[in-house]
């Protein structure tokens, strides 16, 4: 293991300016107890040499890295991309860097990835963790400061989440109002907590309307998953389908097209999330708008408070807004 050649350090500057390293440190940190004239000279020397303090060394001694970590289940999912973007923009505005970790839907690695990422940073945003309730409850305290996105997480941890129960309720009710009585729901990963919320909304629909039949199909979270479910969906003879998210819904639409099933004439399809491209799909997809990048910003704000030792932010739930587009229509009679 060859050690890299050493670089310009604080002593070099100190020596050149004829002062002690301590003084250079004070100047670089804007400590006002330094003689103005001396400070000027040091600053000049530093500029001349192109010196700036090694962030690693500072991190070690100060115990803070000015960096946070964001753990997402899948970087290919537009929802998490948006959340990441929201976090990244606002964190960088506050002078923080962002480390990103993609678990790739591998539940088994969530824990270690989060732990590892957390150790190199000052705090963590855990997005939609897929692990079991017990594991999460045990893990979170070891991760503080941490905030959780799109999953509920007890009372000690700030939560920023979309209310998927309400979202699915609105979408399902919209379909019911259009006359659909046989509705299929393409469920996401069982492990996903938001999937449970969605299921609850379906239960409620069943309770409220005894003339409706809701069929749940195990599917997945990706475009491919949605496309792959097409035959099962057709077999149910449902007149409407709701995707776990827009990706699944869009995949299904594509699959239906390949089977020459028309959307929305033969079957209505709706998604959840309202990803940026839902509106440009063919046909434009009915969905429920989740304010993802704002949620990212709030996640950062909550984490920032924690990092600064301020009181934890309360859990925040965002109610998605139903966005009716052309992929849903009256049920065929």
Partner DNA sequence: TTGAAAGCGCTAACAG
Partner DNA sequence: CTGTTAGCGCTTTCAA
Which residues lie near a copy of itself (CB under 8 A)? 1-4, 52, 54-57, 59-60, 62-65, 67, 75-76, 81-82, 84-85, 88-89, 92, 97-102, 104, 116-117, 119-120, 223, 250, 253-254, 276-277, 279-284, 309
CB of 192 to a copy of itself, least distance (A): 20
CB of 211 to a copy of itself, least distance (A): 33
**Distant-in-sequence, close-in-space partners of 295: CB < 8 Å, separation ≥ 6:** 83, 86, 149, 150, 160, 161, 162, 318
Q: Binding to DNA by residue 34, rule CB under 7 A?
A: yes
Q: Which is nearer to a copy of itself, 4 or 314 (CB)?
A: 4
Contact between residue 42 and residue 17 where contact means Cβ atoms under 8 Å apart: yes
Q: Which is nearer to a copy of itself, 154 or 276 (CB)?
A: 276
Q: Which of 100, 80, 101 is nearest to 92 (CA)?
A: 100
3-state SS, residue 263: coil
Q: Binding to DNA by residue 322, rule CB under 7 A?
A: no
Angle between helices 193-208 and 164-177 (to 10 degrees): 40
Number of residues that bind DNA (CB under 7 A): 30
Give the residue carrying structure tokens 């289940």.
Answer: 73
Q: Binding to DNA by residue 215, rule CB under 7 A?
A: no
Q: Name which of DNA, a copy of itself, none residue 209 binds, using a CB cut-off of 5 to 8 Å depending on partner kind.
A: none
Q: Name which of DNA, a copy of itself, none residue 141 binds, using a CB cut-off of 5 to 8 Å depending on partner kind.
A: none
Taking CB under 7 A as the criterion, which residues in 50-69 touch DNA?
53-54, 57-58, 60-62
Specify the DSSP class assigned to residue 272: S
Among 33, 50, 134, 177, binds DNA (CB under 7 A): 33
Q: Name which of a copy of itself, DNA, none residue 34 binds, using a CB cut-off of 5 to 8 Å depending on partner kind.
A: DNA
Q: Which of 297, 299, 300, 273 is nearest to 285 (CA)?
A: 273
Q: Which is nearer to a copy of itself, 63 or 314 (CB)?
A: 63
* Cis peptide, bond prior to residue 82, ω within 30 of zero: no
Calculated CA dihedral for residues 294, 298, 303, 308, nearest 10 degrees? 120
Q: Which is nearer to DNA, 50 or 314 (CB)?
A: 50
Among 11, 92, 104, 112, binds DNA (CB under 7 A): 11
CB of 120 to DNA, least distance (A): 13
Query: b vs e for 71-110, b when ≥16 Cβ sit within 10 Å of the residue's Cβ?
Result: bbbbeebbbbbbbbebbbebbeeeebebbebbbebeeeeb
Tell me the chain's radius of gyration from C-alpha atoms: 26
Q: Which is nearer to a copy of itself, 120 or 330 (CB)?
A: 120
Q: Binding to DNA by residue 118, rule CB under 7 A?
A: no
CB of 138 to a copy of itself, least distance (A): 13
Specify the DSSP class assigned to residue 286: B
Contact between residue 234 and residue 203 where contact means Cβ atoms under 8 Å apart: no
Q: Binding to DNA by residue 44, rule CB under 7 A?
A: no
* CB neighbour class for 228 (10 Å; exposed up to 12, middle 13-18, buried from 19): middle
CB of 112 to DNA, least distance (A): 17
Contact between residue 170 and residue 109 where contact means Cβ atoms under 8 Å apart: no
Q: Name which of DNA, a copy of itself, none residue 317 binds, using a CB cut-off of 5 to 8 Å depending on partner kind.
A: none
CB of 271 to a copy of itself, least distance (A): 12
Q: Applying CB under 7 A, which residues contact DNA?
A: 1, 3, 6-7, 9-11, 18-26, 28-29, 33-35, 38-39, 53-54, 57-58, 60-62
């Amino acid at each position: 293991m060859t050690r890299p050649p050493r670089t310009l350090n604080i002593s070099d500057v100190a020596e050149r300016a004829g002062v002690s390293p301590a003084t250079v440190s004070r100047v670089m940190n804007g400590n006002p107890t330094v003689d103005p004239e001396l400070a000027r000279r040091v600053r000049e020397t530093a500029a001349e040499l192109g010196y700036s303090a090694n962030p690693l060394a500072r991190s070690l001694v100060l115990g803070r890295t000015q960096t946070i970590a964001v753990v997402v289940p899948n970087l290919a999912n537009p929802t998490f991309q948006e959340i990441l973007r929201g976090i990244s923009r606002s964190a960088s505005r506050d002078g923080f860097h962002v480390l990103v970790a993609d678990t790739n839907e591998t539940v088994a690695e969530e824990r270690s990835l989060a732990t590892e990422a957390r150790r190199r940073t000052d705090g963590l945003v855990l997005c939609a963790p897929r692990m079991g309730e017990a594991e999460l409850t045990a893990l979170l305290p070891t991760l503080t400061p941490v905030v959780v996105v799109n999953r509920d997480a007890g009372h000690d941890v700030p939560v920023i989440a979309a209310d998927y129960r309400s979202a699915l309720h609105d979408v399902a009710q919209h379909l019911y109002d259009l006359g659909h009585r046989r509705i299929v729901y393409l469920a996401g990963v069982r492990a996903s907590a938001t999937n449970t919320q969605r299921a609850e909304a379906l239960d409620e629909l069943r309770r409220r309307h005894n003339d409706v039949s809701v069929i749940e199909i195990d599917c997945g979270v990706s475009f491919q998953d949605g496309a792959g479910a097409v035959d099962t969906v057709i077999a149910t003879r449902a007149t409407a389908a709701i995707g776990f998210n827009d990706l699944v819904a869009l995949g299904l639409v594509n699959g239906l097209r390949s089977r020459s099933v028309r959307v929305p004439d033969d079957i209505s399809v709706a998604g959840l999330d309202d990803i940026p491209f839902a509106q440009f799909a063919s046909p434009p997809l009915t969905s429920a708008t989740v304010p993802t990048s704002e949620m990212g910003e709030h996640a950062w704000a909550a984490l920032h408070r924690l990092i600064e030792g301020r009181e934890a932010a309360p859990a925040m739930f965002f109610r998605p807004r139903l966005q009716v587009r052309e992929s849903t229509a009256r049920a065929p009679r």
